[in-house]
Structure 1
Amino acid sequence: MVTNSEDFLALPGVYKALFLYVEPASTIAPAFLAWFFPGARWFHHELIPFAPPLGGLDARTVMAVWQLGNCYLLLGMISSLVFRAVRDTLPQEPAKQERILGASMTALAVADVTHIAASFIGLPAELRYVPWTWNPMTHGNISFVVVLVSMRLAWFAGIGRTRYYYGQGGKIKKKR
């Protein structure tokens, strides 16, 4: 199906670029990094900057890292596939698009906040407040996710876009 920018009025401009392309790619990529290359050992080691390298990982740890990779894949696919389905199924119906996107964005925002908290609390105390010492994985888990949740909140607030459902009394007008 050929789409144009008017088909996805509820997710315009920077929101479309971030939530339809950047976020899915940034959440799907870690799955492949954990599963294939550089692999579970590398992924596990990178979670804490400057942690002493481990030998091999036990089977339970490998399974947990792979399952974490699966969660990343799931989040990326939901963003990518569900948002595209909303766009393609409801072109020119921005209030309905926005209501469905809002439900997804709410779930993702809750996941963002808990992900930031778990990542931050999980850091050794001496690293928590010195972000210049963090590695790319830590910045991905904290800094980038702060950007994502901030953009979700901006989307809900209607910053840089027209609101069709949120802020409109919560009712979708039915066609007669």
Structure 2
Amino acid sequence: MTSQLPAFPRFVFSVFEPISILAGTIGAVFTPEWFFSEQIPALTNTSAVNPPINANSRLVTQQLGNTYGVAALVGIAVLYTTSEIKVVRNYLIALWIMDIGHVVITYLALGHERAMAVGQWNAMTWGNIGATVFLFIVRSLYFLGLFGSEHQKSRSSLGRKAL
């Protein structure tokens, strides 16, 4: 299916996004203390060691990582197995809506001062806001057709290839 998408969105949605989600999976599952403590960056640069987290925080962080893993697998499954552009577009619409929610929730948790202090953002904030806004913009431009149209394959040409 990914061959039906224009080149740039195809790369972003089927390579960059799954890899970045899997990176979140690895961070949350295997280094939950780091992942948890990096969610809200300090307003000043500190090199403090990640404090230990309690069992509840570890469980929630690792479950979030597991959810990221499922999200990556669903994306790979949709983008690499369906031949229906409508399915891909609906999948991307769902992610577009989730992009908005992800940024809003992060903004509310950070508070206005931290959210606007871009120079103080850590890698986690760049992922939660920066990468998500980038994906939102690419999805929006794709929906507007600014990357060109999908390469629709007719059912008859698909049938001939199978013969």
Q: What TM-score results when the alignment is normalised by the length of structure 2?
A: 0.83
**8 Å CA contact retained: 1:28, 1:77:** no
* Residue 119 of structure 1 pairs with residue 106 of structure 2: yes
Q: CA RMSD of the aligned region, Å? A: 2.3
Match for residue 48 of structure 1 among 33, 40, 51: 40
Q: Give yes or no for contact 2:21–2:69 (8 Å, CA) kept in 1.
A: yes
Identity of matched residues, %? 26
Q: Residues of 1 paired with 2:74 and 2:94: CA distance?
A: 11
The one-letter amino acid paired with 1:35 is V
Output the amino acid matched with 2:33. Answer: R
Aligned length: 151
Aligned residue number for residue 169 of structure 1 = none
What do the CA deviations read for 1:122-145 (whole angstroms, capped 9, x no partner)? 104431211111101101100110
Question: Using the alignment, how far apart are the partners of 1:130 and 1:55 within structure 2?
Answer: 23
Residue 66 of structure 2 corresponds to 70
Work out whether residues 45 and 53 of structure 1, in 8 Å CA contact, stay in contact via their aligned partners in 2.
no
Unaligned runs of 5+ in 1: 91-96, 166-172
Structure with more of its chain in helix, by fraction: 2
Residue 23 of structure 1 and its aligned partner are, at CA, apart by 0.1
TM-score, length of structure 1 as denominator length = 0.77
Residues of 2 paired with 1:174 and 1:30: CA distance?
Answer: 38
- What residue in structure 2 maps to residue 148 of structure 1? 135
Contact 2:21 2:71 in 1 (8 A): yes
Find the aligned partners of 2:112 and 2:78 in 1 and give their Cα distance: 38
- Whole-Å Cα distance in 2 between the matches of residues 129 and 60 of structure 1? 30
Q: Distance in 2 between matches of 1:108 and 1:18?
A: 13
User: For 1:108, which of 95, 98, 109 is the aligned residue?
Assistant: 95
Greater relative contact order (Cα 8 A, min sep 6): structure 1 or 2? 2
Give the conservation status (yes or no) of the 8 Å contact 1:98–1:164: no
Cα distance in 2 for residues equivalent to 1:161 and 1:73: 31
* CA shift digits 1:74-125 (9 cap, x unpaired): 2211222210002xxx3xxxxxx32111110111111111000011111044
For 1:47 and 1:155, how far apart are their aligned partners in 2?
Answer: 30
